[in-house]
Amino acid sequence: MFRQTKSVLQKLRYLSFSGQKCTWRLKSSSAERALQYHPGLKIHGFTVKEVVAVPDLFLTAVKLTHDKTGAQYLHAARDDSNNLFSVQFRTTPMDSTGVPHILEHTVLCGSEKYPCRDPFFKMLNRSLSTFMNAFTASDYTMYPFSTQNGKDFQNLLSVYLDAVFFPCLREQDFWQEGWRLENENPTDPNSPLVFKGVVFNEMKGAFSDNERLYAQHLQNKLYPDHTYSVVSGGEPLSIPDLTWQQLRQFHATHYHPSNARFFTYGDLPLEQHLKQIEEEALSKFECINPNTEVPPQPHWNSPREDHVTCSPDALAPDPARQNTLCVSYLLGDITDTFEGFTLSLLSSLMISGPNSPFYKALIEPKIGTDFSSVVGYDGSTKEASFSIGLQGMAEEDTERVKQIINQTINDIIENGFEEERIEALLHKIEIQMKHQSTNFGLSLASYIASSWNHDGDPIQLLQISDSVAKFKQALVENPRFLQDKVKHYFKENTHRLTLSMSPDEAYLEKQAEAEEEKLQEKIRALSDSDRKEIYEKGLDLLAAQSKTQDASCLPALKVSDIEPTIPITPVQISTAAGGVPVQYCEQPTNGLVYFRAMCSLNTLPEDLRLYVPLFCNVITRMGCGGLDYRQQAQQMELRTGGMSVSTQVIPDSTQLDMYEQGVLLFSSCLERNLPHMFQLWSDIFNSPHFDDEERLRVLVMMSAQELANGISYSGHMYAMTRSGRHLTPAGDLQETFGGMEQVKFMKRIAEMSDLSQVIRTLPRIKKHLLNPDNMRCAVNTTPQKVSDTAAQLETFIKDVSESRKERKPVRPNVVERPLDPLDNSGLSRKLICEQNFQPCQMKTFFQMPFPVNFVSESIRTVPFSHEDYASLGILARLMTAKFLHGEIREKGGAYGGGARMGGGGLFSFYSYRDPNSVQTLSAFRKGVDWAKSGEFTQQDIDEAKLSVFSAVDSPVAPADKGMGLFLSGVTDEMKQSHRERLFSVTHKNLVDVANRYLSVGQRTCGVAILGPENEMIKKDPSWVVK
């Protein structure tokens, strides 16, 4: 994987508490025990350098150094069973061959102790890991994993250490993962030679995304003098310049303990980690000088301007407005923790939300569709940057945008920020620190990665309250503190780049030509014997890929290591005013209250359904009661952790043609703000504002742009949603709410010159949706806060009941189901049952402006409570791991592919960033034949079970406990019986369900492909081309 790191503030969003046990217990907690370490203490080849308690985050940080190699180590001891390990290397390439990225892939092709390809992928099936991955950033490569099981931690640690320090790095691995010349059809020596390789294709896919492309150009041009001027992930046309030798050399100098930073987190003992790391890896190395530092970027004496081109976006809301322009400023060194903290807060004040000066100056005049893809503070490089600009703008607005940016900066220096906005921002940090997520360890690892990578102090970064206190003090001492920063870093900064990007009709053609030229250049240099060798190597690779991989060298948990029963989550259901059911779930939420309300859509006229996502998007953002939208946004930031509304399509667990439709309201707040939060919801219910056409246009534009941008990332999700459209009624509604149909609808709305018709529609939807009839609520909070919340909730429901009016459902086929199947109190939810629904086969192709395909096929099978559901779930994993991955990724060259069993009873195949289109459909079919043949072992089945269970048992945050029952009516008892079915799935069951549900002739399926122009499909009348 290759990623561009997000800004510190975005990371802060995820920096939150995790774990079930969250109270700071004074005795015998992990953090308390870690306080016993003291500087100078020697443990297993390491020396303790620093021990610091960080009470705000309930952890103790222990910093160590490895004596022999100088490897750095940070441990965060905390009472969280979701333990994390990460090792990161400073990888600072000086060319765009993608060497760090290709290395990240090839170290995972087998190592000394574990000589089998793709150990991460194989460990997914042999472990209960909650996270496993690898990332290549601009200047480091990171390998993290997490798990709740101690034995599993040791297994994974062993595999990770061996992979990064002792990889095989065979020539064949390099060809497969990096690049190679090969006959298009490897078995036909006369077929043309083409470029192949996983990273080669991955990066072609990545740069087909214009936002990505722009971000890459911007970084390269703002830091033109060292490693940031190249593409660490690999520029597709430079990748073929890399040799196997260069790759091995890069490994020897960069993946060395002297260039490594280790991070561990959680409640497992530190000594055990250190012992294993010393014995299995570090003791085998000496100290080297890796020489990987990034020098400071020399400052420019005058600002620069540049221009780049991209491919036109067929989905852009307005084809005439597809330009991007942004100004980027070089800031200070990120290892200065407080300066980085200040600048990221400053950035937030400048650009976040409708009250920020840049939102007012750039977004509201609707010069562009949204901010540029790179915006705000970015602390992922050695020196940070700040960027501001627009995408989706017309070329002739260029000068105007530049002037506005300058003017806005002058205005900020003159006027500063309102005190209330600063207060709201600090409130947001308080909430973020209190909110408990399930991946706290991973958030910490990525939060400290960049600064630590350049020898910043990771412990200082963790002491967030110190920075907050220092910030408040600075404001007291100098009321112009922030304005002075703006003057220094923006107005007076000559190291700034104005970069514009415009579409070029011939862009893709030119790219293809350049690739062809590169290819011919390589081919011209070949002798006949070279060609023969290429052909033979191609066959060798094919043979190697077709060989069944022996993964028995890898450590594995057993099915018997899995917990046989699930813990019960107690909830209480009671009735509030007007008979509204409320579910209370008592949880250690650290003083936060989480509120949800599910409102039914059953009375909504059919023709309004397409508008519901738009309604959800704008309902909390256009003002309400006495507040205009700016004041509303301010109040929400000041009083809540956010308020949102989203569409819900919930398939029934017993019948395929039954589902519940609704919208879900969600918000959270500190206990002290409960009355304020409910007051805001009351105002939204009773008097939402809809008539500000200008405001609506801004929101519509941003949302259409966001949808269009998302397709190249989540094309497989769109393909899957589409392929299921005609198979179940729920599948149809899912396409309406979140599929390609919705993308096209939003594009149409964004193109309308007059939105008055939309403005008339929104209040109609509101009448049906925001109505206490057919509403049910859920509250997750601490036991002490339940009665207070109940009282506030009661007031809220009474407040909004005045507008109550009896409405008839538009569909007569409504079925009532008890809210809790074991509870006879009569509280129920209303589902739609379309008994006469006729599933039909449909093949749809969407021509898209990117060079790779997303392919999906879905098959109608059985609902969650059916006895075959568990077998189908395990079969999906088994097919993915043992067959489809090899066919679609290793042989087919796609970035990913597999099968999954969906909650709505659809068994779906998919591929991700796939060079093939219809060929992949036959790979799916071959997968079914493979499953029917039963050529898999008990070990394979056990592995699939482990992998299914690691998903079933992934940690759930206190805010989300009890949601299965609240939303879907799935009780702990139902989960437990599903669990028992999973345990008891046999070889015979798997072959049997493959035959009965997936065989041609047995199944009703739908197919969808998103991809570039496709002659084969065009000629085939069985396809619907969009």
Minimum CB separation of residue 205 from Zn ion in Å reads: 10
Binding mask 2-21 for Zn ion (x = CB under 5 A): x-------------------
Which residue's CB is nearer to Zn ion, number 714 or number 939? Answer: 714
Which residue's CB is nearer to Zn ion, number 441 or number 896? Answer: 896
Binding mask 187-216 for Zn ion (x = CB under 5 A): ---------------x--------------
- Cβ atoms of 544 and 536 within 8 Å: the answer is no
Q: What is the 3-state secondary structure (H, E, C) of 819-882?
A: CCCCCCCCCEEEEEECCCCCCCCEEEEEECCCCCEEEEEEEECCCCCCCCHHHHHHHHHHHHHH
And the tokens for 209? 């995304």
Active site (annotated) includes residue 104: yes
Residue of 976, 980, 970, 971 lying closest to 653 (CA atoms)? 970
Minimum CB separation of residue 256 from Zn ion in Å reads: 22
- Cβ atoms of 775 and 600 within 8 Å: the answer is yes
Antiparallel, parallel or unpaired: β 376-378 and 370-371: unpaired
- Cβ atoms of 634 and 428 within 8 Å: the answer is no
Which residue's CB is nearer to Zn ion, number 1 or number 314? Answer: 1
Q: What is the DSSP string of 115-151?
A: -SS-HHHHHTTT--EEEE--EE-SSEEEEEEEES-HH
d(CA 409, CA 496): 14
Which residue's CB is nearer to Zn ion, number 254 or number 421? Answer: 254
Q: Phi/psi at 605 (nearest 5 deg)?
A: -60, 140
Which residue's CB is nearer to Zn ion, number 255 or number 690? Answer: 255
For residue 623, what is the DSSP state?
-
Binding mask 150-189 for Zn ion (x = CB under 5 A): ----------------------------------------
Minimum CB separation of residue 234 from Zn ion in Å reads: 9
Type of residue numbered 814 = V
d(CA 600, CA 773): 8
Minimum CB separation of residue 199 from Zn ion in Å reads: 6
Which residue's CB is nearer to Zn ion, number 139 or number 202? Answer: 202
**For residue 783, what are the CA distances in angstroms to 572, 789, 960, 961?**
12, 10, 16, 14
- Cβ atoms of 397 and 609 within 8 Å: the answer is no
Q: Phi/psi at 135 (nearest 5 deg)?
A: -130, 140
Report the DSSP beta bridge partners of residue 263: 74, 86
d(CA 435, CA 437): 6
d(CA 714, CA 907): 18
- Cβ atoms of 50 and 459 within 8 Å: the answer is yes
Binding mask 358-397 for Zn ion (x = CB under 5 A): ----------------------------------------
d(CA 789, CA 542): 63
Minimum CB separation of residue 66 from Zn ion in Å reads: 29
Minimum CB separation of residue 122 from Zn ion in Å reads: 17
d(CA 334, CA 332): 6
Minimum CB separation of residue 975 from Zn ion in Å reads: 35
Antiparallel, parallel or unpaired: β 572-575 and 581-586: antiparallel
Helices and strands (H, E) in the chain, number of each type: 35, 31
- Cβ atoms of 265 and 83 within 8 Å: the answer is yes
Which residue's CB is nearer to Zn ion, number 679 or number 911? Answer: 911
The secondary structure of the chain in percent helix, strand, coil, rounded to multiples of 5, reads 45, 20, 35
Number of residues that bind Zn ion (CB under 5 A): 3
Which residue's CB is nearer to Zn ion, number 141 or number 600? Answer: 141
Minimum CB separation of residue 170 from Zn ion in Å reads: 18
> Binding to Zn ion (CB under 5 A): which residues in 282-341?
none
Antiparallel, parallel or unpaired: β 383-393 and 496-503: unpaired
Which residue's CB is nearer to Zn ion, number 1 or number 791? Answer: 1
Minimum CB separation of residue 281 from Zn ion in Å reads: 24
Minimum CB separation of residue 136 from Zn ion in Å reads: 7
Minimum CB separation of residue 181 from Zn ion in Å reads: 20
And the tokens for 967? 């939303």
Binding mask 645-674 for Zn ion (x = CB under 5 A): ------------------------------
Rg of the chain, C-alpha, whole Å: 28
Ordered strands of the 1005-1011 beta sheet: 896-901, 906-914, 853-860, 1005-1011, 842-847, 1024-1025
What sign results for the dihedral spanned by CA atoms 341, 346, 352, 353? positive
> Binding to Zn ion (CB under 5 A): which residues in 584-643?
none
Which residue's CB is nearer to Zn ion, number 1 or number 506? Answer: 1
Total length of the chain: 1026
d(CA 323, CA 307): 11
Minimum CB separation of residue 819 from Zn ion in Å reads: 45
* Annotated catalytic residue within 32, 50, 104, 184: 104
Which residue's CB is nearer to Zn ion, number 235 or number 820? Answer: 235
Stretch that binds Zn ion, among 1-9, 746-754, 914-922, 988-996 (CB under 5 A): 1-9
Which residue's CB is nearer to Zn ion, number 202 or number 657? Answer: 202
Residue ranges that bind Zn ion, judged by CB under 5 A: 1-2, 202
Query: Known catalytic residues?
Result: 104
